[in-house]
Structure 1
Amino acid sequence: MKHILMVATGGTIACRQTGRGLAPSLTGEELLEMLPEIGKICKVVVENPLTIDSTDMCAEDRMKIATCIWQNYDRYDGFVVTHGTDTLSYTSALLYHVLRNLNKPVILTGAQKPMGGDPDSDAERNLLDAFRVACSGWTGVAAVLHGRIIRGNHVVKMHSTAVDAFRSVGAPLAGTVDEEGNVRLSIVPLLGGEPYFVDQVDPHIVLMKLVPDLDPSIFDFLARYPKVIIEGFGSGGIPQRLEKVVQKLIMSGTKVYLTSQCIEGETNLHKYEVGRRAEAMGAISLGHRTTVDAVAAIMCGEI
């Protein structure tokens, strides 16, 4: 049987009701006790580096997860990370960019409803499926939720409460897990050299969404940040009335990246005049990347 390290971090899957609402309290060991079927799939060892709501996660916490995996990389056949769904996509993307050239699986999962707290909970299926995929031959970072296997840099949460909340944006599904637990991989990641770990990231990034009547003075505040992502409209670009303040921001030394508010598609600064003017002043197109993936890639210094 394969040996899998389970890295438990809290989230809804580990929540119990308190007088102040749902709060994570179950350890990874307690989650496994509720699913003895996992013992038929693989041997599991548990680490509990965090027990928090994923809303509270910052870059330091995500790197703690990554470090836990990297320090144990040679000891296990794969890894399953239980995580809150609200920021699971951010952790998935960062792990994808800091854990490079993996030849083992790193599978993130979570739940919209707590384990054992609701007869309609998605927690049991998601956790079982995560271990199934971890033992399936998949390599690299992926999220496994509601029977979908999504590559780590394409995970997007589309619904705040539905158990069918996640989609693969910008790429097809990497595979599926049916209700009987059969794993079908549609993509086999290509290995690209020796695995290595990016141990330093820079979280000093601000993300700003354009609205039609945005006050230009907001860009004076953004000058304190070294990197700014602007979510524009459609294919991307800077409204003419904001061009001078954005150019001033770029000239001050801030890197300005442009992406789209659209969920699907790409940023294309060559299509329209507004995009070409933005590119001419030094703005950087994020192309096909999702906003979440772009944040992780910029934190790692890739773009």
Structure 2
Amino acid sequence: MTERRILVIYTGGTFGMLKDHRGVLVPQRDIERRIIRKLPQLHDNEYWTKNLAETEKQKYLVIPDGKDTNLRILYKIIETEEIKDSSDFTNEDWIMMAREIKKYYHDYDGFVVLHGTDTTAYGASVLSFMLESVGKTVVLTGAQVPIFQPRSDGNNNLLCAILIAATQHIPEVTVFFGAKLFRGTRVKKVSNTRIYAFDSPNYPPLLESKTTLDIDPKMLIHPAGSVPDDCVLHDQLSKKVYLLKVTPTITPEIIRAMFQGMEGVVLETYGNGNIPIKRKEIYKEIEQAVKNNVLIVNVTQCVNGIVHGKPLYETGLLLIECGVIPAYDMTSEAAQAKLSYVLSKPGLTYAERVELMKTNIRGELHNPHL
């Protein structure tokens, strides 16, 4: 039977948490020995004992046979140096994850990242941009209920993520959660209580887990065979990027303080990309920031929606005239990740960075004007 080898990178999050002496959930190490090897859904111990225990493959786990594939799927779990709640993740953590994928790229057929749900949308977007070219499937997943608990959703999330990484050729960063596979630059966390915690508001899922795991090739950014089996990594990100949400109490002082020292700002606006029209002092602050070469991207606060390059309302037109970049249908997480990436690319002029923000490079947006 043909083998596929998958690397699972465990970074922390709810997936591997246990309650401590205070009764609160904290990340735990050594999840393979403590729980995953004991779960028949995730490890065929009989096959491992007969075929791998006395070989160089003894450190692998084995997915049990099933109808999804005739392949024998082996996987190895490695844990990052520090296991964290994903609320503590920063750019440095995602750079580390991307470097791990690059380091082991030619040793495995696909990659799964066990990631905390709170920042999965940020992490998936950041990894999508940093991995400028990737010829293998990368899947982020996690759990709403820890794997140590009987009702955990982590079992099925991890199983499906490994199966997808091993059997589907999807050369991009993705997120599997609940029953759906999403593009990494299109996903948002929409619930902290439901098992189906994620959605892709402006783009359909790449795959839905049914009795089979099949993807429509038309959903992919790159047609089959068009991406070389290699990994091109850009492992730099600007730290001088942040998000400012427009509310009725916003003031010029808030905008001025927010933009101070920033290279890029995601501006979350009302509806189609609007801010108060009668507050001219607000526009002056935004206009001045653009003159200071701050990249400002206009993203709607709505879960579904588009900020057009040709605005529908006068309030949106004024932002365009100030030099603010329309995000089209990008999520705020993708816009922030893309800004961090674009601003770290050397040798680009301000105008070139503006055009790159308007251009679809990882399936993150649809610009009808290009």
TM-score, L = length of structure 1: 0.94
**Residue among 266, 282, 286 paired with 2:327:** 286
Q: 1:88: how far off?
A: 0.9
**Residue among 176, 201, 205 paired with 2:241:** 205
Mapped partners of 1:85, 1:287: distance in 2:
25
Q: Deviation string for 1:60-79 (max 9, x for gaps)?
A: 00110111001111111000
Mapped partners of 1:269, 1:217: distance in 2:
27
SS at match of 2:106: coil
Contact kept, 8 Å, 1:93 with 1:293, in 2: the verdict is yes
Matched residue, 1:23: 26
**Residue among 20, 29, 41 paired with 1:37:** 41
Mapped partners of 1:131, 1:189: distance in 2:
21
Matched residue, 2:299: 259
**1:11 and 2:13 matched:** yes
Q: Deviation string for 1:269-297 (max 9, x for gaps)?
A: 52211111111111111111111111111
Q: 1:120: how far off?
A: 2.1
Q: How does 1:64-83 map to 2 (within 5 A)?
A: 64-83=96-115
Contact kept, 8 Å, 1:7 with 1:28, in 2: the verdict is no
Matched residue, 1:231: 268
Q: 1:235: how far off?
A: 0.7
Matched residue, 2:284: 244
Q: Cα gap change, 1:11/1:34 in structure 2, threshold over 3 Å: closer, same or farther? A: farther
SS at match of 2:12: coil
Q: 1:174: how far off?
A: 0.2
Mapped partners of 1:289, 1:71: distance in 2:
30
Q: 1:115: how far off?
A: 0.4
Moved more, 11-20 or 52-61: 11-20
Q: 1:224: how far off?
A: 2.0
- When Rg is computed on C-alpha atoms for both structures, the one with the higher figure is 2
SS at match of 2:293: coil
SS at match of 2:167: coil
Point out where structure 1 has 5 or more consecutive residues left out of the alignment.
none
Moved more, 138-147 or 71-80: 138-147
Q: 1:130: how far off?
A: 0.8
Q: 1:162: how far off?
A: 1.3
Matched residue, 1:106: 138
Matched residue, 2:159: 128
Q: How does 1:133-148 map to 2 (within 5 A)?
A: 133-139=164-170, 140-148=172-180
Q: Cα gap change, 1:34/1:99 in structure 2, threshold over 3 Å: closer, same or farther? A: farther
Contact kept, 8 Å, 1:84 with 1:110, in 2: the verdict is yes
Contact kept, 8 Å, 1:28 with 1:47, in 2: the verdict is no
**1:219 and 2:255 matched:** yes
Mapped partners of 1:188, 1:261: distance in 2:
27
Contact kept, 8 Å, 2:242 with 2:336, in 1: the verdict is no
Contact kept, 8 Å, 1:8 with 1:27, in 2: the verdict is no
TM-score, L = length of structure 2: 0.77
Contact kept, 8 Å, 1:147 with 1:177, in 2: the verdict is yes
Q: 1:107: how far off?
A: 0.7
Mapped partners of 2:91, 2:269: distance in 1:
25
**Residue among 132, 137, 160 paired with 2:192:** 160
SS at match of 1:7: strand
**1:90 and 2:111 matched:** no
Contact kept, 8 Å, 1:236 with 1:258, in 2: the verdict is yes
Q: 1:253: how far off?
A: 2.8
Point out where structure 2 has 5 or more consecutive residues left out of the alignment.
43-61, 65-71, 343-355, 358-370
Q: Cα gap change, 1:78/1:235 in structure 2, threshold over 3 Å: closer, same or farther? A: same
SS at match of 2:25: strand
Contact kept, 8 Å, 2:133 with 2:233, in 1: the verdict is no
Mapped partners of 1:7, 1:169: distance in 2:
27
Amino acid in structure 2 at the alignment position of 1:183: L
Q: Deviation string for 1:217-243 (max 9, x for gaps)?
A: 112212221211110001103323121
Q: How many residues align?
A: 300
Q: Deviation string for 1:142-187 (max 9, x for gaps)?
A: 1111111111111111011211111112211100113x5x212133
Contact kept, 8 Å, 2:135 with 2:227, in 1: the verdict is no
Contact kept, 8 Å, 2:17 with 2:25, in 1: the verdict is yes
Mapped partners of 1:36, 1:99: distance in 2:
34
Mapped partners of 2:31, 2:222: distance in 1:
31
